[in-house]
Amino acid sequence: MTHILVKWKDENKWDVYPVKMIEDAAVGIRLLTQENAISELRGQEVRVRWEEGQDAAPAELLAFGKPTVLERKRKKIVAAAASAEEIATASSTSVQGSGAASPVQMHTRW
């Protein structure tokens, strides 16, 4: 187990990176040496170097494990997020197109 799954704080995106990309080496060492460290660290904000030579960016630590397993989790999360976004968009569109008055219109119909 050598990788992490993160959700970027400033974007609705998820990525899998090697543990060595965590800016705080103590967090990386803890993940690699303490068996259940992820259960205590999950949800915490860490800074991750998303590319060699670039500044680290804030991300939420979601999981630790093998890259293939984490990539499958990432794909499921992305698919679920896309479905939720499509549902929200469809709901918004159906309400607007239903002929029902918008809240602004209802207040002006006296």
> Looking at residues 56-72, what average pLDDT do you find?
97
The pLDDT score that the predictor gives to residue 92 is 60
Q: Is residue 108 assigned to a domain? A: no
> Looking at residues 52-78, what average pLDDT do you find?
95
Phi, psi at residue 8, to the nearest 5°? Answer: -65, 135
Q: Is residue 32 assigned to a domain? A: yes
Q: Is residue 67 assigned to a domain? A: yes
Q: Is residue 104 assigned to a domain? A: no
The pLDDT score that the predictor gives to residue 52 is 81
- Report the Cα–Cα distance between both ends of the chain, in Å, rounded: 65
Q: Is residue 100 assigned to a domain? A: no
6-18, pLDDT tens digit by residue?
999 999 999 999 9
pLDDT-derived band at 28 (thresholds 50, 70, 90) equals very high
Tokens representing 16 are: 């899998």
Q: Range of 11's domain?
A: 3-95
Question: Is 84's pLDDT higher than 70?
Answer: yes
The total number of structural domains in the chain stands at 1
